[in-house]
Structure 1
Amino acid sequence: MSEPDHQERSDIIPAAPTETVTSNPLRTLLWGQGLRDFGDGFVAVLLPVYLTALGFSPFEIGALAGTALLGSALLTLAMGFLGVRYDLRLLLISAAGLMTATGVALATADSYALLLVVAFLGTINPTAGTVSSFVPVEHAVLTRETADAERTKVFARYSLVGGLASAGGALAAAAPEIFMRLGWPQLSALKAMFAVYAVLGLIAGLLYTRIPRRPPAQLGFTQALGPSRWTVYKLAALFSIDAFAGGFAVQSLLALWLFERFDLSLSVASLFFFWSGVLAAFSFPVAAWISRRIGLINTMVFTHIPASLCLILAAFAPSLPLALGLLLMRAALSQMDVPTRSSYVMAVVTEAERTAAASFTSVPRSLAASLSPALAGALFSLSWLGTPLILCGALKIAYDLALLNQFRHVKPPEER
């Protein structure tokens, strides 16, 4: 799409409300997001521990992680279509109810077949990132409550809250070891954390009831995307490359790599993922600051490439301190594209298309990411342990260069 076409289309985007991030709907959304990301943070670390304790192989663990991402992709796609026809508040409450059901199922199941079903139908998030059916709905709510000039800043704050909550969840993953010192069996201690996850979903659902009801955008079910469809399709294709690459090093598999490569303890792993989450979280407002100076696309690309190089170098690290240092450097850089990417997608589509655009750019990411964890698990079993990290970094660099080539001239309203 040429820049003039984009300029002409952007003129029809309705002006957004000028509410700040301290308004009640946004504050409520941030609290709900924090609760679910806290739960995702400890589930991502504990999931491989739980599955290993049940006697499953690295390949089976990777396959289950991939199944979870596939199920999340399909549910997110459904949210994109439903967001055109139903109140966004109702969709968030429903997703929170599914989170509660997922936690209950994880706390009671130990059959691999049943766990695969739960992973596919539920809200298990092996990435501890924003890969869930909540995301497109939350993005649409955030954008409708925010002016263009503040949009990236609000998304940075949204990502900051989620990142800190996820980091806190990773730290809470050490809780089962505390329970075990008190005499609990390992499986009971792990299942107790999944019960906590269910309670967090329940509380989040109650919070979402405070978001005001608003009528959905008036587009037909088959018209979820309109004038922006080709922009969304190209972005979705590129984002899928990034997600496929990221699937080789999702947090659950990165934890597995540290356990296998350096015999890392659960308590040390939870502390590491806590600090990596904190670094990632505080990189979000930095990304918003940088984007105001060099633009959203440049911020996405030129922070992502150094992060990928750190991951590749970590695969060759001969010692645990060096590997952890490189991974922490990666954590401080690799997520800067999260608020900028979300803001960019919302900026280059019309208001009525926002939920669908967030969904359709998330779904290929989840579908692509669902393929690589099983491959990574097989590589862990059959070859040198660092291979998945190298593949992840190399593919991500290729994605960054392609994104820069295709979209460096397509500017959001605030950059023109």
Structure 2
Amino acid sequence: MTSDRSLLYASSLLRSLAIGMLGVLIALHVIAHHWSNGLLFAIVGAGLAGGGLASGLAAFTADHARRAWLSALSALSAAGVVVCAFGPGEGWMLVAAFVGMLNGMGKDRSAQQVIETAILPATASASERTFVIARYTMLQDIGLAVGTLAAGLPALLGDASSADGAAATTAALLIAAALLGIGVVLPWFMTSAIETPRPPVAMRLAPESRRVLVRLCALFSLDSIGGGFITGALVTYFFITQYAQPEWIIGALLFTARCANAVSHLGAAWLAKRIGLVNTMVFTHIPSSLLLVTVGFTGSFWIAAILYLMRESLVEMDVPTRQSYVMAVVRPEERTFVSAVTSLVRLGGWAIGALAAGLAMRHVGLAAPLIACAVMKITYDVLLYASFRHLKPPEELPAPGVTSAPARPGA
């Protein structure tokens, strides 16, 4: 299973490179074609809707055909980006976004990630699980960081070939499609050990798991709606419009943010081993939301950029810890279904949030999505702590036969 884990890491890294590029390129493509900013948020919403449909289907059928699913999803993603690159109008962009699950979030929210997240815990022991997932999410953010930096290719290509902005972004989109296309092949080098011989368990969750899943979905819906207000494409649009900065500056900013995200994942795994998964999720997430609010109220690009980077050094610390926690509190055979359902809930929330962000930015102001995001995420953190501080994953429980004093709430 170690070789399978390495291939999963490689597949995720390449996909994240493409997604990092798309988080910036989609906004640049819309600007280069002089399309409305409302289309930008419609594209993000359509892509999330397509990804949600794929995740829902994966919940019921992917367990016994994981390699085929991973390959097919990568093929659809690559094809969607190609259509986006050559599509003659706004309608084509929306079709490509939905069918290709086009990701304008600047983060990996794909159905492939749902399947990979369900596979990874089986490649590690309970004590290693969070670190294995942290390395997986760290590689994703490294890919996203390099991808956002590579999104500056349109400017370089334009200077080199005298191509206009639209032609340059088209060329960069094709590079992203090629990266996604590699994911069509990689799953077939994985062993059959990643498949599960059991039929899908969607309709026979344990009662305890069902209760946990319902509570998690309610909380994740709130968190994801807030997250939909702060997509990668929106951040690009905000900094370009608010501060009139060139594309390479924004690409460098997002690259640095992704580097901060990547480092924070290993820090999250280290911290979780000492204070627990839920505590790490909550007490790193709340400060990041407070920092986000301040970004919208500064008149200086450089101050806003520093505050944004401080936020990014904390905001992703709940990602590996959340994934590890969810996979730990359900049975192994339930992981694909639970991963798919929670992902579906989050995708739906992001789609709603992205569309609402467009309306808020248009009718209230550029900073409105940042404030809405922060308020929703802080509310989510408080409710998460209240609901799950007593439900411990296996590695945080006392060893059998060991008598200890009752744990403090949230310990």
Q: 1-side partners of 2:107 and 2:204: how far apart? A: 25
1:164 aligns with 2:142: yes
After the TM superposition, which residues 192-203 of structure 1 pair with which residues of structure 2 at under 5 Å, given as runs?
192-203=171-182
8 Å CA contact retained: 1:311, 1:390: yes
Q: Which amino acid letter does the alignment assign opposite residue 138 of structure 1?
A: E
**1:111 pairs with one of 75, 89, 112:** 89
The one-character-per-residue Cα deviations of 1:26-61 (angstroms, maximum 9, x if unpaired) are: 111101110000000011111011012222222221
1:258 aligns with 2:236: no
Q: Which moved more, 1:270-279 or 1:71-80?
A: 71-80
Which residue of the partner structure matches residue 67 of structure 1?
A: 46
| CA pair 297-221 structure 1, distance change in 2 beyond 3 A | closer
Offset, 1:222? 4.8
Q: 2-side partners of 1:110 and 1:340: how far apart? A: 42
Which residue of the partner structure matches residue 129 of structure 1?
A: 107
After the TM superposition, which residues 299-378 of structure 1 pair with which residues of structure 2 at under 5 Å, given as runs?
299-378=280-359
| CA pair 206-220 structure 1, distance change in 2 beyond 3 A | closer
Q: State the secondary structure of the residue aligned to 1:192.
A: helix
Q: 2-side partners of 1:225 and 1:189: how far apart? A: 50
Q: Which moved more, 1:92-101 or 1:361-370?
A: 92-101
Q: 2-side partners of 1:187 and 1:280: how far apart? A: 30
| CA pair 407-221 structure 1, distance change in 2 beyond 3 A | closer
Q: 1-side partners of 2:221 and 2:262: how far apart? A: 23
**1:218 pairs with one of 191, 198, 206:** 198
Q: 1-side partners of 2:62 and 2:375: how far apart? A: 35
8 Å CA contact retained: 2:139, 2:262: yes
8 Å CA contact retained: 1:167, 1:276: yes
Which residue of the partner structure matches residue 59 of structure 2?
A: 80
The one-character-per-residue Cα deviations of 1:125-165 (angstroms, maximum 9, x if unpaired) are: 11121311111110111111111110000010001100001
Q: Which amino acid letter does the alignment assign opposite residue 167 of structure 2?
A: S
8 Å CA contact retained: 1:224, 1:356: no
Q: Which amino acid letter does the alignment assign opposite residue 43 of structure 2?
A: L
Q: 2-side partners of 1:80 and 1:204: how far apart? A: 20
Q: Which moved more, 1:232-241 or 1:327-336?
A: 232-241
**1:383 pairs with one of 361, 364, 373:** 364
| CA pair 221-113 structure 1, distance change in 2 beyond 3 A | farther
State the 4+ residue runs in structure 1 displaced beyond 6 angstroms.
Answer: none
Which residue of the partner structure matches residue 272 of structure 1?
A: 253
Q: Which amino acid letter does the alignment assign opposite residue 375 of structure 2?
A: A
8 Å CA contact retained: 1:28, 1:208: yes
Q: State the secondary structure of the residue aligned to 2:176.
A: helix
Offset, 1:240? 1.1
Offset, 1:220? 4.8
Q: State the secondary structure of the residue aligned to 2:189.
A: coil
Offset, 1:224? 6.1
Which residue of the partner structure matches residue 41 of structure 1?
A: 20
CA RMSD, Structure 1 to Structure 2 (Å):
1.3
Q: 2-side partners of 1:312 and 1:74: how far apart? A: 32
Q: 2-side partners of 1:55 and 1:402: how far apart? A: 42
| CA pair 210-322 structure 1, distance change in 2 beyond 3 A | same
Q: 2-side partners of 1:205 and 1:47: how far apart? A: 23
Q: 1-side partners of 2:202 and 2:114: how far apart? A: 17
8 Å CA contact retained: 2:265, 2:317: yes
**2:131 pairs with one of 149, 153, 161:** 153
Q: Which amino acid letter does the alignment assign opposite residue 273 of structure 1?
A: L
Q: Which amino acid letter does the alignment assign opposite residue 348 of structure 1?
A: V
Q: Which amino acid letter does the alignment assign opposite residue 24 of structure 1?
A: S
Q: Which moved more, 1:98-107 or 1:388-397?
A: 98-107
8 Å CA contact retained: 2:114, 2:339: yes
Q: Which amino acid letter does the alignment assign opposite residue 92 of structure 2?
A: L
The one-character-per-residue Cα deviations of 1:167-196 (angstroms, maximum 9, x if unpaired) are: 000000111100110112211111111111
Offset, 1:258? 0.7
**1:205 pairs with one of 172, 184, 193:** 184
Q: State the secondary structure of the residue aligned to 1:249.
A: coil
Aligned length: 394
Which residue of the partner structure matches residue 26 of structure 1?
A: 5
Q: Which amino acid letter does the alignment assign opposite residue 205 of structure 1?
A: V
8 Å CA contact retained: 1:47, 1:252: yes
Percent identity between the aligned chains? Answer: 34
Q: 1-side partners of 2:16 and 2:366: how far apart? A: 29
Q: 1-side partners of 2:117 and 2:134: how far apart? A: 12
Q: TM-score, normalised by structure 2?
A: 0.93
5+ long unaligned stretches in structure 1? 1-18
8 Å CA contact retained: 1:235, 1:361: yes
Higher relative contact order (CA closer than 8 Å, sequence separation 6+):
1
The one-character-per-residue Cα deviations of 1:337-380 (angstroms, maximum 9, x if unpaired) are: 00000000100111111001111111111101101212211222
8 Å CA contact retained: 1:83, 1:216: no
Q: 2-side partners of 1:384 and 1:89: how far apart? A: 45
Q: TM-score, normalised by structure 1?
A: 0.92
